[in-house]
Structures are given as structure tokens and as C-alpha cells.
Structure 1
Amino acid sequence: MNDTVIAIARKGPPKPADAVTRIGGNLEPHEMRDPFDIGEALTTLAERGDAVTVFPAGYVEPLLARIESVDPELPHFVLDFTGSEMPPSGKLVFVASIGGNAKLQFELEGDWRALDGRPMMVHAEFPESCLVLNRRAARRIETPVGVNYTASFALQGRQYELPLYDFSQSGVGLRATPDQCFGLTVGKKITGARLELGPALTLIADLEVRLLRPFKTFLLGEQVQVGCSFASISMQMQQTLERFVTSGVPERRAAR
């Protein structure tokens, strides 16, 4: 057997905050069946050291793993469950976020026995197909006019409180004047942002700035659209946000 693999410089074990939820039944992912594309997606996860959330049947909480190595020629890959626990025999659902823009999900079934000399690692064949949800295509909810939807955070000694224009399961859109968003750049990490989604929902999440787009409005003059993806959000808060997004919240309207 060819033992050539793609070596991975590993990060530390994943944390509970790294867990992601399964793709909801109300969403419309596309199916990926090309082995080359599947191998490329798995290799991306491995090279980045991103967490893979594993859902065994009957488990209340998911397990967490990372992809240790990928061999696209066999094709197979190796999962490392260090810091979590070994999965039970049977069918597992694997979910991972790729680059903050897409969610990958697939199912595999096996005995999941540990590899010789590597007690927390298991071998897995490539799935025949994967579901891929492009998060940029996820439903976005525009905030009602006249209601307090804001994002508050501190960055490099400066306090920010920016109006929140829209949000989805993958991130939030902010609006600011050029002066208000001074210090924000694409790729900037925001830790512990407080997101006020109206009077009934407050979330604390880590964000990453993905977009800065200047524009003008007749009433407000020069503005900047600040698009942020969720860099870290607890699984409980993610599930709360998912319910909030999919519960039929109305599009932008005047508050009563």
C-alpha cells in the first residue's frame, strides 16, 4: 500500500467553541461528488488545521477532530480525535466550516478502530458525496428600522459601537462613517463583540472583517459597509442564531 500522505503541521486540539452545527433541512446546499473536489476540500481543512465536528447517532454532544493527513490517490484521510474521544462504531455525520464562506457535510460508516501506535487517530475513506452550503448564499435578515441593532467591541484601545444592518448564520453586516470604522481592515480579528439583535437577543462572538465597501447615500453621505464573518461562536449561540434566522423574521421594515 502507498503510505505517501500530505504532512500536516498540526495546531492544538479543537475547543468546544470550534464546533459547528449540521446543515439545516430548510437550507439548500449543493452536492459535490467529484473525488478531486472532495480531496481538495479535505486537504484545505487539513492544511488549515480546522476543526471537524462529528455527530455520532444517539450522542447528545458532538465529538471534535482534525484531519491529520490526506492521501488523494488511495483515496483516504486520517482523523485525529486528540482532546475529544474516539467515535463509536456505526454511521457518523462530519461537518466543517471552510474558510468561513462554506460549510461541508458528509456521512461515513465504519468500525472506527484506532491506528496502530496512534491511539486517537482513525482511517477513513473519501465519502462518495458531500453537501456544500455556500454561506454567502445563506438567508440574510435585514434589521428593522428604528430598533436598536448594534455591534459593540474594543479594538486596539478604541471602543466601537456600530449599527448592525443585516445578519445571517455566517456573519453580520455593519454600517459606519469612514471615521467610525477607522482602524478596521480586511482580515482584522475582533474578539468578544457584543451583538444586540433587537430587544430579545444578545450574542457574544468573535468576528473577522471580510469586506470594507465605501458608498454614498443621499441622507447620510459617505458610508462604509463592513462585512464580518463569525470567527468563533459557541455552538449554543449558533443554534440560537439559526433558529432566529429561520423563524421568519420579517425583512427590513419600520418598527411599530
Structure 2
Amino acid sequence: MSETETARSPLELEEADAYSQYLLHSPTEVAFVLRNAMQKGCMMTVYFDMGQSFFLTSLLQVTPKGIVLDYGSDEDTNRRALKAGRLICTTSVDKVKVQFALDSLSLVNHEGSPAFFSPLPANLLRLQRREYFRVSTPIANPLKCEIQVSTETGGITAQQIPLLDISAGGMGLMAAVDQAQYFGRGSVFRNCVLTLPDDGPIKVDLEVRNLFEVTTRNGSRYFRVGCEFLDLPGLLLTMIQRYITRLERERKARISGLE
């Protein structure tokens, strides 16, 4: 899959392999979460056209057969949404991120007003904030992770891969085109060395959950390698969370300085 940096999707549901443990598949559980969102009046963003278009809505009705969504405020967007083949809905319920996909929307009349209808989603992603909060790592002086990979000749070589982002659950790596060959989905790498500022090098085990090509605005290419931490000890998790907190604090300070 290829995409531009300006069109990169922030939706974890598009990386379902990496978040499969947080997917609900039971129709009863899915309906329960959606009814809760409806009762709390949660606003929902619906993305379509590969994330290029979206509209704001809310749930009006949830039944075993499907859901009814409030009609959007822009008629042109509504028409395009009705023609869309796949839509992703995202909201937050009690500080828990909720995402689900719809195959299509149809126009219905709900209590005298137009509305959208879709069958109940087949699954639903629920992510606690601590599970999904991800921050971008510095670009000017990037963190790097040293990973031992196998070569075609059967040898072992160390690859230094810059980080794109990091969370308590894993990290995104920026692999050069010639490095992508080492990172098949499901590949496991042991004793990878990640050097955190102030804490020094730590060793982590990684599993590759997804891999896709990215083309930047100037035409250069790289591969984003999404990795999950395996059996991360509590002490190392604390160190990583401390680093994430520091990055977020620095980001907010920069924003405040520009205001």
C-alpha cells in the first residue's frame, strides 16, 4: 500500500493486526458500546474516500439490525458519503476511543427527517488512552533502534532504523527501501537496542504487525514498519512512558510558545 504523508490515516482500525486484542466481535457487545455512545450524545467523525473526506454526526438509533446516524450538514458531502464503499467512524466514550467500519450508508427517514442507515458493524475497536496514545519522535535528531536481521547468505547484520513514533504498545520505524526486505509481517526480532534520552539503551523484543510504503511530498520513499513490543517488562514500560510524557510536554510547550 502506498500513500502520501499528507494523506496518512491516524485510525488504528486501519492497522487492525496491531490492535486485534482490542476488537469486539460479538454483536451484543458491539451494540452495547454503540448504545452507550448514543445515550451519552457522543459526537462521531465518519471518514471516507480513503480518509480524504469526513463529516460529523451522532447516533440516533441502535438495533440488532443496524444503526441510524444523523444526516450531515453539507449536502454534497452527504451525497458522496452515500456512494462511498467503506467508511470509518471514530468517537470517544468515557475517554475510550471507539472505531468501527461500515460497508455503506443508505438514506432513510427517521422521525420525519433524513438520516443515514447502516447494518450493525461486524466488529468494533475499543482503545483505552494508555493503549493507543502515540507520539511522533524528533525528526532533527531521531531515535534509532538497532535490530539484528538475517541476510540472504545466512549471516546476521545490525540495522539502525530511525523511529517515526512510539507508544506504550510499540513503535513505528522508518525503514529505507532496501531495508524493507527484512521486515515481513509477523517477523519477531529479539534484543533490539533502543536508546532513550536520559535513560540510555534498553533491549526490547519486537514483532512486525504491518508494513506499508510512504511517498513524501518531494517524491522520496520509505517504508513504515509498525512493531509491537513483546512481553515488555514493567520497568522498561515505565521508562518508555516517561519518555512519551516528556515528548508530549515539549510539544505542548512549543505550541504555547507560538500562540
TM over 0.5, yes or no?
Answer: no
TM-score normalised according to structure 1 size: 0.44
TM-score by length of 2: 0.43
